[in-house]
Amino acid sequence: MANTILVPVDYSENALSAAHYACSLAKLLNCNIELLHAYQPFTSSFQSPLANQTDKQRAAIGAEKGMSEFLGKLKLDKGNNLEIQSTLFEGPLLESVEHACKTDQISLIVMGTHGASGIRADLIGSNTYHVAKSVVKPLIVVPHNYIMNGSLNAVFFSDFHKDDKYTGNVFAKIFKEYFSKISLIHILSKEQIADQTAAKLESWHSVLKPILQMQLENAIVDQPETIETVNRILEQSSADMCLLTLAHDRNFFENLFQKSLAKAIILNPRCPVFLAGKMV
């Protein structure tokens, strides 16, 4: 695998929390870290070229100062041999991330849930949402102040979508040596018959197990499809990561976010959420 974790930062406390998590992950995976800050200077056709240039220079200086202060807050342990790079990009965040993914050896993106710009009420924090929807690299969405534990367990929530296979394959390429167990969970809907769905999950388990290449358990949960049920499952499983499939066929991504349960998981995750990125 490539050896750099990309961490887009807006210098917020959530970005700092995500950066701390990314550093712990980098030590585990023997990766480097690239902090990325995108900034957009104010320019106006009503200003003179000199005034616009002055604003550009002021924005660049502010971005440099912010990155320096952010690195200071990160308080890296200099003895851990962790290589940290920082990049400033003039332009929109998504453009900066896509550019980094094309030009650098990025294996993984780590972002906080909500940033300095706030959140859109019906989606992930707007920046994280646009990245999750568009990038081809896997993304981990990290809740504020989450600390990685020693023993790693994951929960894979599945609705039997065909792209679960892609999610599992991408996850295994990165984490199969580090996660001791994955629980494949399907929450029974009101329309489903328990015995038939259990058989379907068992069959799906047989498909995913050779892809994930790690211990895989499966369970049908016959409880309400609520965030409380999800959080209870994650807590009982001592989950350190939650896997979701965001299929990018037409309208599926938007439809997923209209489902209150999926939306709630990603808006306010109990543990980091792994999204595989778009297939190419």
Compute mean pLDDT per 10 residues along the chain, 280 residues long, and list them.
83 90 91 91 66 73 90 69 86 89 87 59 54 84 83 90 94 91 91 91 97 94 88 92 76 52 72 85
**Interatomic CA distance for residues 28 and 22, integer angstroms:** 10
CA angle 220, 225, 230 (to 5 degrees): 75
90 burial (CB, 10 Å; 0-12 / 13-18 / 19+) is middle
Using the structure block, give the residue that is written with the tokens 């309400």.
224
Q: Which residues of 43-67 are buried (b: 16+ CB within 10 A; e: fewer)?
A: eeeeeeeeebeeebeebeeebeebb
pLDDT of residue 206: 97
Residues of CATH 3.40.50.620 domain(s) within the chain? Answer: 4-142, 152-272
Question: DSSP state, 79?
Answer: G
> How many other CB atoms are there within 10 angstroms of residue 259's CB atom?
12
Q: Specify whether the CB–CB gap between 240 and 269 falls below 8 A.
A: no
Q: Which residues contact 55 (CB under 8 A, 6 or more apart)?
A: 41, 42, 43, 47
Please count the residues of the chain: 280
Q: For the domain 152-272, what is the CATH code?
A: 3.40.50.620
**CA distance linking residue 187 with residue 227, whole number of Å:** 11
- pLDDT value for 262: 64
Sign of the torsion formed by the C-alpha atoms of 161, 197, 257 and 35: negative
Q: CA-to-CA distance for 223 and 246, rounded, in angstroms?
A: 23
Find residue 7's DSSP bridge partners: 35
Nearest Cα neighbor of 239 from 201, 274, 277, 211 is 274
Q: What is the pLDDT of residue 80?
A: 59
- 3-state DSSP helix/strand/coil % of the chain, to nearest 5: 45, 20, 35
The Cα–Cα gap between 33 and 109 comes to: 10
CATH superfamily name and code, 4-142: HUPs (3.40.50.620)
pLDDT for the residue numbered 86: 92
